[in-house]
Structures are given as structure tokens and as C-alpha cells.
Amino acid sequence: MTGEVFRAQRADGSLVAVKKLNALAIDRDRLRGNWRRLWRAPKHPGAVSMLDFQVDASPYFVAMDWIESGRTLAESELPSDDNDNSWAWSRLMGLAQTLADFQKYGVHHANLHPGNVFLVPGDDGDGQLLISDFGPGLAGAVHHIEIGESAWFAPPEQLDAFVAWQDGAVEKWDVYRFGALAFWMLTGEVPRGLGYRAAREMAIAESGGRPVAVEALALAEDFRSQPEVRWPEDSGGSLSRENRYRRELITRCLAIDPEERPADMREVATAFDFLERQFEIERAEAELKATKEEAEARVMEEQERQARKVLNGRLMAACLAGALLISAMFLVQHWQRAVGFETRASDLGQVVSQQKSMIEEYDRRWSQTVHELRSTREAADSVFSQINQSERGSAAPPAEGSIEHENLEKSRAFFVKAIEEAAADPNQKLEHARSLHNLAHVETRLGKKEEALAHLRETVTRYEEILAERSGEVTVVHDTQSRLADCHEALVGLLDSRSSDEMLQSLREASRYLTMLAARRSDDPHLPQRRLAIDFRLARQWHEQRHFAEALAGYSSLGERLQDPMPREPENRQRLEILGEVQYHTALTLREMGRAREAGSAFVAAMETLSQLVGTRPYSAEQSLRLGSIYASLGEMMLGRASNGEAKELFNEAYRLLLPISEARPEHLETAVLLARSMSRLGGIERASGRWTDGYRLSLRAIENLEQAIKGQPGDLDARLLLVELRAEHTETLKHQDTAARSCLGKGFGLAEVILTEINDSAELPDGLRQSFRLRLAKLYETYGELCKKLGDSEKAELCFDRAHRARELLVQREPVSGAAESSETKSL
């Protein structure tokens, strides 16, 4: 050791480090000269500043800055950066530059080791090295000095000849000590003397841990025994080229022979600087080379891309050229074909012109044929339409031998033959049905009613089969529906029975088909009248069969249709006549349904329509008949009120209107029925007023007139039932004339028995009508029973009551007619 370090404080309070020197361990002359040069040298950031020194007199000391925040390298744990050692190399190069700067001013250190190099915090945060204690150590005329671990950082010549420090020796000592310090910082070991260190540690162990002085000569000899410096092996080849060159420089600094070392630290610093500049150049060249290679790679890549583009362009051009060539070939072929087509088109144009001329000629001939066929069909339809109209307008067939009769017979023979031919061919069903239809019309006109009915029924069946089979053929469907409407109209005209189920069905079908025709043929002037006539007859048929609700609905529909304006006067008058009839029969239906107030309004409306129709002209027989019927019905509705004066006036008016017609046409049953009702009601009013003689005469005359009219139509049930009712009523006028009364009742009872038998035995009588007649008969039997009982004929009275009871039982077994009320005739009894 060369001395002991104390921490001192200046008068200004700043701290300094004062090293008190051992007089035996220093060469005062060497130190004086070295420190004077250090004092004159500028302050260096890599060294601890010297503040003062004294070597001329005791106490010998040197004062330096106090390092508060730093530690020596021997006390510090150096950063580990693997094989790169970038931290150590950067500090070592700075340390070399510091020593070189001081040697430039003749300042040497001579005792560099980890114990006098401080590691203090630097500006970069990784620490900065500061060199201290320049001069003292194993150098010069030292009398006695104890050296420790720092001896392993001294060169061998300093250990065995430390007096010879002059003539550049001390500068080479600093070079070796720098190399040893660098080796220690890089590897953590000293470069040489490991054998002597092991022997010394053994000696310390043998001495019981007492200190053992370092023998400088033995240590120097150990150094010289290991001339080569052994660096740690490169693990995995991670040692960089720069570090390898740096290690070679450190190896030169650690050479045993001083001549092989750099002359001083300035040469070392210059070598480091040269290496770094060389490394910078190489890195710049490498970067430039990498940039060049990258640029060349980019150029090659761009060239390849451009080459591909050129290749693609050439391929596309080649494809376009090929496509253009092919298109040109196709264009040439198309032009050649177009020229050929033009030639052929010209030829075809001539052919087409010829064909058009032929087609026009064929069209002309076809139109002429169709026109002739249509004319033929229209002529045939016109003929049979006239036949049908003549059927409806005239009941008398043409006389045998007449021209019309002969023509009809020829037509009949023609259609019979056509039917036979069509029957043999299953594809001629429609022609077969049409021939049957036309044959039925011819037979109707010839008066062959039964044959016509049979053929019409068969025609309807065949037309319905055709509709089902050929429902998709619109023309056939429309024609068949039109013919079915005509067939049902013809059936309605041929049926004898005034009320029958077949009549009702035919009317319903005729109405349905005529409605379809009206929807399609709105311009047909005959269809509206045909519909009105059929629908009116259908409503009357509903009424006659005692289906009053359906009858009222039919009359209401007719009334709505008849409210439409009518452009021409004849048609307007015809519609007014139908409107009057509809209003009249609506009133009858309402009366049967028990709706007296509405019935009265309908009767009044019918009278107003009739008055509008007649105007200032006198009433015709039919108009007088209708007006008389209205008066009679209104009178019956007025009966039973507080006074019969109004009813009497109405019956008198009816009597006034109906009597001339009855006298002119005594066989006319409808007139006879209406007149009989009016006279009977007047007779009742007269009897009620005490004029028995007038009442008797009116009642008797009503019976006689009705009996006379019934002879012309003996099958009319309504008229005969009214006659039975009149005989019962006439009995009231035969008081105190029991024999005449019994005779009158006997005739009435006998007629009732006949009617009852006919009602029960008739298969064609509709159920509604049958039930209505049974109801009237039940009430008549009850009335006759009461009258017979008054006359003392108990046996006949019991028989009448039994008949009434049985009729009631039959009525209970069947549903009564919907909407029906007791008839006015029955009520009057």
C-alpha cells in the first residue's frame, strides 16, 4: 500500500479525498514531476481531479475530489452482455483515450488496476469510468511497499525491476496494465498468474488465514511462464469480427516482451480509433452492399415483372390477332352466306308472293264458304225460330193438305233421317241433339204434343251430357246453353198441368240458362222479354205450388228489373203491362202470406200502373178482368171490419166490371171464379143487412155461373173447391128450408169427396199444392159437419168431422207450406 485515504471537508463545506502517503512507499522525485505535469494538464472528464499535493515535507499527501456516488471497479458488479461485451468495450476505449490524453502531457499512471478506477453514473445511464491515484505505486526508488491483488495487473518487468521506469518504460507498463484491466473486465479473470495465485491461496490456508505477502519476483516468473494469453472459447461462433480484432489489440498490450507491445497508450487509442473507423467503413460498405443488392434484387424483380408484362402483352396481342383473323374469316363466310341468302331471299320473295296470292284466293273462297254456311245456319235457325214463335203464338196446327203442313212433314222426315244417321256415329252427339231439338219443334207445330214432349226431354238429357263432356270448348258450351234455354221454354209451353214439379223444374232451368245468355248477349233485343216472361211464370209457379217466399223473391227481382228506363214506346207499354201483372201477383202472394197491409199497397200500385197504361182509352176486357179481381181481393180484405160499407162498394165495383165479361164469355173460368166470389160476398153483406132475398139471389147466381164455367174445365181443383165453399155459404140463405139445405149440402159434400179422392190419387200434384188443398178441405168438412149437425143429420155430420180429422192428421204428418197463410176463401167460411 502507498498510503491511507481520508475524507476531509473544506472550509466551504465541500468534501475532498486526502490520501496520506507512506514515505517508504513513494519515490518523491518521480511523484513531484508527475503530479506537476498532471497539475498543469487540463482537467479531464475521464479522471478524478487532483486538488493539491505535498511531497517536499511531511506529511506527504495528495488531495482529490471526493467520489460520493461511485464505486471502484473492484467493488462493482459489471453489466453482463454475453460475448458482445459492447458495454465493456465502449468504456475501455474511453479509458484508453483518457490515458492517452494524459500521456500526451507526460503524465503516467504506473499503478492502474480495478481498485483505482471508479464507476460513476453517466449521462447515458450505464455508468462512466473515472481514473484516480495517478503516480503512487510500484515505480521508482521505492524503499518498501506491500503489494496485494493489484500485482496481478502489473507487467513482469515492473515486478522485478520497478526502479527502471524511465526511457518509456513506464508508458509500456501503463499499456500492459490497461490490457490486464481490459482482460479482467471482459472475462472476469486476470490474464496470467493463476498458478502463483493458487499456491498463495494454499499458503494462506496453511498459515491459518494469516496474510501472506506477494512475492513480486515469483509472480513475475509465473507471468513469463505463460507467454500466451488464453481468451475464453467462442461459444457457438457468436464472437463478432470487431471483437476479435479488439481482442487481438488487447493481446498485443499483454505481450511479455515490452517491445512487442504498443509504445504507449496513444498508440493503443489510435489503434482503437482506427479499428472503429474501419468498422464504420465496413458497416457502411456492408450497408451499401446490402442496399445495392436490394436495389439489384428490386431491379431484377421489376425486370422480371416487366418481362412478364411484355410476354402477356405479346400473348394478348397474339390472341387478339388470332381472334381478328378468325373474325375476318367468319365475316367473309357471313358475307358470302349473306350474298347467298340475299339471292335465296329474292327467290323466296317470289315464292312468297305466289303463296300470298294463293292464300288470298283460298281466304276469299273460305270466307265465301263460311258466309254461305252462316247464311244457311241463320236461315235454318230463323225457320225454327219462326216455328217456335208460331208454337207460342198459335195453338192450332196447320190443316192437313196445306202447304205449311206438307213443308213441316218434309222437315220432320229430314230430321228423323238425320237422327238415325247421327245415332250410328258416336262423334255426332251434338248433331244428334240438334236434330232432336229441331224435330221436337216441328212436331209441336204439327200438333204431335206427346212426341214433341218425349223428344224435348231426350234433347235436354243429351245437351246436358254434351255440356259435361265438352265443358272446355267455349263455343260448344255457349251454343248448347242457348239451345237448352229454348228446350226448357218449349217444355213449359207443352206441359198440360198448370202446376207440376216438371213445370217448376223446366221454368227454373229456362230462367238459369236465359240469365247466362243475357250476360253474354247483351245486344240481343229478344232476350230481355224472354227472361221477363219465364221469370214471371216461374214466380207464378212458385205461388201456385204454395212456395210463397220464393214467389215473393221472384216478383221482387222482376220489379227491380222493370224499373229500368225504356227507350221506345211500344216496349215501354209492354213492360208496363208486365209491371202491372207483377204488382198484382205480388199482392196475391203477400195476401197468402198474411201480410195484408203490404198486399193492399201492392194492389193499389197495380191499379195505378193499370190506370197509367190505359190513359184516356176505355178498358179492354182483360184490363177490366184484372181491375175487377183487384176490387174483389180488396173487398175480401176489408170484410170483418167495423162496417162493411167500403167492402160492399169494392164488391159492387168488381161486379160491375166482371159481369159484362162473364156474359160475353160464360165459359171463361177465371172470370166466373172472380164474379162468383164477388157475388157471394155481396150476398153475405146483403143478408147481414137483412135483405135475405137479394142475398139469396146473388148467392144462387154465383153458384150457377160457376157451375156453367166449370163444365168447360172440369179438372180445375181451385174452381171446384170454391163451388163447395159457395154451396156451404148458400145454405145460410136457406133458413127454414131444411130439405133444400140438405140437398145443397149433399151436392157440396159429394163434390168434396170427389176432390179428396183426386187429391189423394194424383201423382203429379205438387206437395205444396196438395197440402194447401187438404187444408181447405179440412176446414170445409168441419163447416159441413157443423151445418149437418144443425140440420139434424148427425150421421153425415160425424162423417164430415171424420174426414176433417183425417185430413188434419195428414197435414200434421207433413210440414206445412212455408210462408203460407189461410186463404181468404177459407177464412170467409
Closest among 689, 756, 692 to 721, alpha carbons compared: 756
pLDDT of 156 strictly over 70:
yes
State yes or no: pLDDT of 176 exceeds 90: yes
Domain count along the chain: 2
CA-based end-to-end distance of the chain = 173
Lookup result for grid cell 201492392: 602
In this predicted structure, what is the pLDDT of residue 363?
63
Q: How confident is the model at residue 180, as a pLDDT? A: 92
Mean pLDDT in residue range 446-460: 88
Mean pLDDT of 194-208: 86
Mean pLDDT of 617-645: 81
> Which of the given ranges, 119-123, 180-184, 334-338, has the highest pLDDT on average?
180-184
326, part of any domain = no
The C-alpha atoms of residue 158 and residue 169 are separated, in whole angstroms, by: 9
Q: Is the pLDDT of residue 386 over 60?
A: no
**Which of the four pLDDT bands, split at 50, 70 and 90, describes residue 818?**
very low
According to DSSP, the β-strands at 71-72 and 50-54 are unpaired
pLDDT at 398 over 80: yes
672: helix, strand or coil: helix
97 within some domain: yes
Percent of the chain with pLDDT over 70: 90
Integer Cα distance of 677 and 636 in angstroms: 9
Helix (H, G, I), strand (E, B) or coil at 3: strand
pLDDT of residue 381: 47
Boundaries of domain holding 192: 3-263
**Paired sense of beta strands 15-21 and 117-120, if any:** unpaired
Question: Against a cut of 0.85, is the pTM above it?
Answer: no
Asked if 454 and 443 count as a contact pair (C-beta separation under 8 A), the reply is no
Residue 185 has pLDDT above 70, yes or no: yes
Q: Is 524 helix (H, G, I), strand (E, B) or coil?
A: coil
Phi-psi region of 139 (alpha: psi -120 to 50; beta: other; left: phi over 0): beta
pLDDT of residue 341: 76
Last residue of a domain, one of 263, 281, 309: 263
3-state secondary structure of 8: strand
Residue 822 has a pLDDT of: 41
- CA–CA gap between residue 145 and residue 162 (Å, rounded): 11
> Of 493, 530, 496, which Cα lies nearest the Cα of 512?
530
Using the predicted structure, report yes or no on whether residue 636 has a pLDDT greater than 90: no
- Residue 109 burial (CB count, 10 A): 30
Which residue blocks in 689-737 are alpha helix, DSSP H? Answer: 692-710, 717-730
- Ranked by mean pLDDT, which of 173-177, 345-349, 576-580, 608-612 comes out on top? 173-177
Whether 125 shows a pLDDT value over 90: the answer reads no
Among residues 205, 233, 263, which one ends one of the domains? 263
Instruction: Summarize pLDDT for 224-278 with one digit per residue, the tens.
Output: 998 999 888 866 667 788 888 888 999 999 999 999 999 898 999 999 999 989 8
Spatial distance between the Cα atoms of 128 and 45, rounded to a whole number of angstroms: 9
Question: What local confidence, expressed as pLDDT, does residue 373 receive?
Answer: 47
The 10s digit of each residue's pLDDT in 490-519 is 888 888 656 678 888 888 998 998 888 888
CA atoms of 169 and 14, how far apart (whole Å): 38
Q: Taking 90 as the threshold, does the pLDDT of residue 575 lie above it?
A: no
- Average pLDDT over the chain reads 83
Place of cell 224435348: 456
Beta strands at 128-131 and 117-120: parallel, antiparallel or unpaired: antiparallel
Q: Quick one: average pLDDT of 783-791?
A: 88
pLDDT of 658 above 50? yes
Which helix or strand (DSSP H or E) is residue 414 part of? helix 403-423
Residue 710 in domain: no
Q: In one letter, which amino acid is 667?
A: E
DSSP state for residue 149 in the 8-state scheme:
G
Torsion of CA 255, 259, 261, 264, to 10 degrees: 140
Greatest CA separation found in the chain?
Answer: 205
137: left (phi over 0), alpha (psi -120 to 50) or beta: left
Does pLDDT of 394 surpass 80?
no
In a domain, 785, yes or no: yes
Model confidence band, residue 15 (pLDDT cutoffs 50, 70, 90): very high
Give CA separation, 5 vs 1, 405, 470, in Å: 11, 174, 139
Contact residues for 717 (Cβ-Cβ < 8 A; gap 6+): 755, 758, 759, 773
pLDDT at 667 over 90: no
827 vs 251 pLDDT, higher one: 251
Q: What is the CATH number of the domain that holds 187?
A: 1.10.510.10
Is residue 6 scored above 60 in pLDDT?
A: yes
Enclosing H/E stretch for 689: none
Overall size of the chain counted in residues: 829
Domain assignment present for residue 90? The answer is yes
In this prediction, residue 491 carries a pLDDT of 86
Continuous segment of H or E residues that includes residue 130: strand 128-131
Residue 518 domain-assigned (yes or no) = no
Q: Which residues pair with 53 in a beta bridge?
A: 62
- Read off the pLDDT of each residue in 461-486 and give the average, rounded to a whole number: 89
Residue 31 within any structural domain of the chain: yes
Q: What number is the average pLDDT over the span 9-31?
A: 88
Which pLDDT value is given to residue 274?
A: 92
Q: Which segment, 175-184, 210-219, 532-541, is predicted with the most confidence on average?
A: 175-184
In whole angstroms, give the CA distance from residue 530 to residue 393: 14
User: Which among 800, 794, 757, 751 is positioned nearest to 779, based on CA atoms?
Assistant: 800
Instruction: Please identify, among 263, 290, 322, the residue that sits at the C-terminal boundary of a domain.
Output: 263
Q: Smallest Cα–Cα separation from 657: which of 607, 697, 723, 717?
A: 607
817: pLDDT strictly greater than 50 = no
666: helix, strand or coil: coil
Q: Which three cell numbers stand for residue 697?
A: 139471389
Whole-number pLDDT of residue 17: 92
Instruction: Read off the pLDDT band of 62 (50, 70, 90).
Output: very high
Query: Can you give the three-state secondary structure of 43-69, one letter per residue?
Result: CCCCECCEEEEECCCCCCEEEEECCCC
- The answer to whether residue 488 is domain-embedded is no
Helices 717-730 and 738-761, axial angle in degrees (round to 10): 160
Question: What Cα–Cα distance (Å) separates residue 42 from each residue in 39, 98, 101, 105, 432?
Answer: 8, 12, 10, 9, 149
Average pLDDT over every residue of 710-721: 86
Which pLDDT band, with edges at 50, 70 and 90, does 565 fall under? low
Strand, coil or helix: 569: helix
Give the C-alpha distances (Å, rounded to integers) separating 12 from 16, 63, 65, 788: 11, 16, 14, 174
CA distances from 149 to 1, 165, 176, 268, 540 (A): 11, 21, 16, 25, 153
Mean pLDDT of 348-367: 71
